[in-house]
Amino acid sequence: MDTIPTLPILSAEEQRVMGALMEKARATPEYYPLTLNALVAACNQKTSRKPVVNYDDSLVIATLDSLRKKGLVSTVTGGSSRVTKYKHNFAVVYPVIPAEVTIICLLLLRGPQTPGELNTNSGRMYEFESLDEVQALLDNLANAEQPYVRQLPKRPGQKEARYVHLLGGSEVADDSDLDFNDAGSSTELAARLAKVETELAALRAEFDKLMQELT
């Protein structure tokens, strides 16, 4: 039995390039593999991306070179065009099916998401039959011999748990901090709102007193 390669630790740029290649392979197969120009545009899309970035050609070329060395990207030449094109090899290197690649792709491009969000965001990439199918795929990816995703703790008041990919190395831990920071921000916002309400009540009282004096 062949040993499954360990997941690489990808930089933010590598994650975006990989995610963009995965997405276009499914969503627009007629334009795949991608030229450098098409890949740069895919990385810099203002929709379906979190965060939105502004990569230039040199950055994407350097990132492609890094991914090639990891065996995750290859070039394609020939045919009617002499332009070099690029494709991902994730499903070649790792034993994942198209539906699982879609989930990993969405997590790479949009960050942590719930099963419901993944189902909604899959768009033209893959049509899941139900939320149960999405959950089953997430469970498979999380419990595989080589885990690809993990479940994050639920945020306060959140019904569904979010999932994050494991291609970011230590960056994965940062998302747990996000939960704490978000909670802190909510607490700070609530305190500010309470202060504003107190000040507003005092102003109303002064206004009422002034009106009584005038009348």
Which tens digits make up the pLDDT trace of 25-57? Answer: 999 999 999 999 999 999 999 999 999 999 999
Judged by phi (left if over 0) then psi (alpha if -120 to 50, else beta), residue 206 lies in alpha
Mean pLDDT of all residues in 158-168: 93
Length of the chain as a residue count: 215
The overall longest dimension of the chain from CA atoms, in Å, is 92
Q: Strands 149-151, 34-35: parallel, antiparallel or unpaired by DSSP?
A: unpaired
pLDDT single digits (tens) 52-78: 999 999 999 999 999 999 999 999 986
Q: Please report the pLDDT score of residue 181 as a whole number.
A: 42
Q: For 5-32, what is the mean pLDDT?
A: 96
* CATH, domain range 12-165: 1.10.10.10
Per residue in 141-150, pLDDT (tens digit) is 999 999 999 9
Domain spans, the chain = 12-165, 170-215
Q: Which band of pLDDT confidence, cut at 50, 70 and 90, is reported for residue 120?
A: very high
Neighbouring-strand partners of residue 87: 74
